[in-house]
Amino acid sequence: MSTATSNIRFVIHHPQMGIYLGNALGLGFWTKIDTVGQDSAVTFESTKQAEEHMATWDQGRPTEATIQQVCADKGYYASASACAAAGLEPWVV
């Protein structure tokens, strides 16, 4: 497997909330709401894994959420520039 292929991951995106950055203490963090200083987004191995993650949320999967392919450039995370390269809006920390 090539390095480029092994870096292919997926992020959760919502038109009003932005890119899902992760969660802590039961709170989800998004680029358009509160980045809490995060300079990269959590990624998932597959669309199935991202869907399964959203299924665990108390409010359930946001209806307008999509799963977008990105090239993870920080281990299992994708920086704002990697998200922008995938056609998503970057954010400022």
Residue 93 lies in a domain: no
Tell me the residue length of the chain: 93
Residue 91 lies in a domain: no
What average pLDDT does range 41-57 have in this prediction?
Answer: 97
- Whether 2 shows a pLDDT value over 50: the answer reads no
Residue 92 lies in a domain: no
Residue 30's pLDDT is: 97
- Whether 1 shows a pLDDT value over 70: the answer reads no
- Whether 4 shows a pLDDT value over 60: the answer reads no
- Which domain, by its residues, includes 32? 3-85
Task: Tell me how many domains the chain contains.
Answer: 1
- Whether 13 shows a pLDDT value over 70: the answer reads yes
Residue 39 lies in a domain: yes
Residue 9 lies in a domain: yes
Residue 25 lies in a domain: yes
pTM for the structure as a whole: 0.91
What average pLDDT does range 45-52 have in this prediction?
Answer: 97
Query: What HEC string does the chain produce?
Result: CCHHHHCEEEEEEECCCEEEEEEECCEEEECCCCCCCCCEEECECCHHHHHHHHHCCCCCCCCCCEEEEEECCECCEEEHHHHHHCCCCCCCC
